[in-house]
Chains A and B, each alone.
Chain A
Amino acid sequence: MDKGLQSEGNVNVQQMIEDKKRSKSLGEIIEKIIPWFLLLCAIVSVLTTAGILFTLLRESIGFFANVSIIDFYTGTDWSPWTGHYGVAPLIGGTLLITLIATLTAVPLGLMSAIFLSEYANDKARRVIKPILEVLAGIPTVVYGYFALTFITPMFQTFIPDLGIFNALSGGFVVGIMIIPMVASLSEDAMNSVPNALREGAYGLGATKFEVVFKVVLPAAFSGIVASIVLAISRAIGETMIVTIAAGATPNLTFNPTDSIQTMTAFIVQAATGDTTFGSTIYYSLYAVGMTLFVFTLVMNLIAQYISRRFREEY
């Protein structure tokens, strides 16, 4: 390197800069074009949303030209291949799965969050947290496989008349999948509770669990609720686990041992079957998709609303 450098010559840098400036028009053009290119890219995400709304609305309207919207939302028989389009069984299936998943994930996730935030030492937290996060990174098709080939047979030893396809194991595994969401978002909420509040309670002789239940949980309440709502939204939209493990029987039931079908599972079923482009069944995909979209959108908006309010507290 040393020898590569020339000995000090008479270089007039400012003069060179002046010279280069005259040929700099290309640079100036780039400088002007780049922001527009970047803006264009930023608009892709807006177009994606617009595209989703457009396609769901347009094809749903096409669907409702053939099937009355009232029959769709009030009918209780979903058998599209015989011309019955009452969506209630699919919504019921989705809600059943979501309920089971929530009952699994909320207690486990919350207790994990409390353990990690209040009881675990730094070392334990650094080991346990990433492992828990792995749960969120497992492909859902793998969960589906596990639910079908392991969880269901395991449950069958306790519940002998449990079918191969049932809402229970599907919902349970969805619940396991969303534990990290509940746990890590709730833990964040608990961590942001100021230590002064805890110290105040400890100073009065409170034990740890009293501090957790009387100070930390109430203070972190809205953050915890937001995490639960987000996790529910995730459960509503989950597809592969329920398609593989919960069955393909539209069934308006709240018996978790039954085989059911969720909105998402129907969309997969119809897309893999011989659905002709432009047929009523094809359009029904979108009507169901739009219903699903509205469910998750409402959940996401609620979560955002809660966490916005939550942020203002501290």
Chain B
Amino acid sequence: MAPAYDDDDGDYSYEDDAVEFQDEAALDDYMNDEEYELMNDMFPRAKKDLAEYQGWDNLKVKLAIFDHEFNLDEALKELKRDLKKKKPEETPSKMSALEQLARRRALSSKKVNATEETFKLTGRLSTLSTLGPRERNSNGKPLSSLAGRLASLQYKRENTSPKSPDHVKPSHSLASRLTLGKNNLQEQVESAPDSRISLYSKLSALRKTKDSSQVPPMKEPQDKVPPPQVNDKDHISANSKPPTFEELGVVFNLHALSDSHNLAEKSLGISELVTKRDLKEKTAISRLKRKYEDVHSPYFPSTNDQTAKKQASTNFKKQSPDDVVLEAQKRAFEDVAKVSKGVEAVTLENPKQVSDESADTDENDDKPFSKEPVMRTHNKATSPTKPKNPIDMNAFLHQKKPHLSFVVIGHVDAGKSTLMGRLLYDVGAVDNKLIRKLKRESEMIGKSSFHLAWVMDQTAEERNRGVTVDICTSDFETNASTFTIVDAPGHRDFVPNAIAGVSQVDVAVLSIDCSTDAFESGFNLDGQTKEHTILARSLGVRHIIVAMNKMDSVDWYEGRFIDIKSELTNFFEDIGIKSEQTSWVPCSGLSGEGVFDKSYPAGLTWYKGPSLVKSLENISQSLFDNESAEVTKEPFLFSTFDVSQGTKPNEAILFGRVESGHIQGGETVTIYPSEQSVLVTQILAGNNQVQVPAAIKGDFVTLKVRNAYVEDIQVGDLVAIVGYDIESAQEFSSQILTFKLDRPLLPGTPVMFFRGSCEQPARIKKLVSLVDKADASKIIKKKVRHLGSNQAAIVEIELTEKKRRIPLTTFSQNKRLGRIVLRKEGRTVAAGVIKTLDV
């Protein structure tokens, strides 16, 4: 069993776990509903079939059915075989004459309270007689010579004083094991008394069991035997012996057999058996130590005990107690960070092993509550798969229209949603019918001017309150290119959502309310105009189009346009947005002038530039021309904005943006941080979710993937092509630039951390150094006590919720995903880039 498969395979490979059932109820509990019904169906039939057989019980039958995966015929066959074999009364012909003799002697000896020696011989012989079909078929000679050997042992034993069972220590059997395989006569003589002692203890236990007529607790489900019957007592006791002794018995027999050279062939066969078991020896011994009581029960060597074998081999695969201790000691010398990393790594690779380890070493397992669950990870594929219907990417790029995504930002009530509604309506992405419907509905609650905004604001909450809460994406197409609109909320409480929106796009449209006093109120200290612009700049938006909205309310007065433009230009310079990165368009979202093709009113003569959509098309084309070459070279990376369960089992639907590279149906990708590899079956795009052959950088698409564990995928997860690994981290070092602060940033200051659509509580762990704002490599001050406003610094940040790991890329790996924003108490306090992940 490969370690990486442990966790997720747990669901169906229960055979490997060798689950033990104490009773019928436990088995019933273990089964799922479907299995339970099947069982209820089959069980009565099985019962009827087995009516003529003796010695089965409900659990045994149920287990048999269960183990044969509800194949009733198979199960019955096995049951019948088992029962026959174990019921000598029913099949007397199969008994060796010798065993019958022994049995008779045993019975008689019981009556007359015979000596221990007789018992021993009986037990020994009955053991030998059941060694296996091979032995039994050709048993005459070997068994008699074995009997001779035993007799000699018995003779020796009489020379030594008998020991009480309490003195039998597992080390004796260990010693006997150590002599295994050595043909030195001297050694064998030494080992003989040891074996004899175990034999002796076993026998006395056998007698004890008989006296109390009680079957000791059984270990393996397969070992379970029919309820005891009076005339059958010693046989049953023999059956219920623990697997350890069976091995001991085999070892012992080996000595006996190899001693008698005329049995070379037989002993070879057995020694093969022994070598096979060699591996499990250690576990068996340790179990022997533990199950002290079991040692005293008689044994029965059922050599085809598969479960016991399996159990033993799985036990051996685990770390031995020594290894656990050694590892712990080794770890103690490594530094703390490394240790935690190491533990995490172990958890990822082999969760089962760790839990075993903790059970061995952790004394706190009696705590009244369970530990925090560890985040699950899955097996990661290593080899990529080929697309199902491969297409030539270069040709695809050639015929593809340029695509541009843009976000609309601005102060609350600057008309962002209305502007977007207008845009969608004018380009024909929204039909007349819907607009009429919305208009009617909005009039009903007295907010008729909101009807265009309702195209984007769909939830009851948003419509009733007239504010956008969450981002909303929508696609539309013009002759020149395709677009994805992201409508961001303007209210300060929903800035986190706006951050998610801004982080998804290439271009931002800054909507400015040009009506009297409205711009000023949105532009002062607490207005979102500034915060949104800073966010756009910090999150790597390439171009800002300033939509001078609501110009109709000031009668398209040029003076107002110029005033606002000059004030904004100063601000843009302050925060480092270059003038070639901005363009200015006067428009009106409500009436539609300057948005798409509706011409400006006759009075407007001072503006001759392109309309809003035209400007977007121009930018789209220029960005596409610059970057289409990179698409084929970069690895595929995708960030997830929305996850849902597909219609089929194990199917997930991921909505998000292709951050780099390209993807086609049929390729295998890995989702981080859960590291599950999934197969992309379909790629859907657009409002109507049309299937497309491929998606390239910048596209907003829905991926349908197969073999996914939806519950382990979260919004903000990253998806990458197989072979491109993304690290997950809880701590990282980053270079940040602080904005205007009320309170300084100190080590320990709690902040909210944003990376794309990931939002996590975090705190500053350490202030490393203060750097020059213009040149980050120039360190101004090494020892930093606190960070004030407008300072550039290198800091270490750690996430507060420890079990949550976030896939991160450094800025050098990905220009967009490497950017972060820190907020505190509802304000954006800093923005920066991730420098390194290993702190």
Partners in one complex: no
Residues of B near any A CB (own CB < 8 A): none
Residues of A near any B CB (own CB < 8 A): none
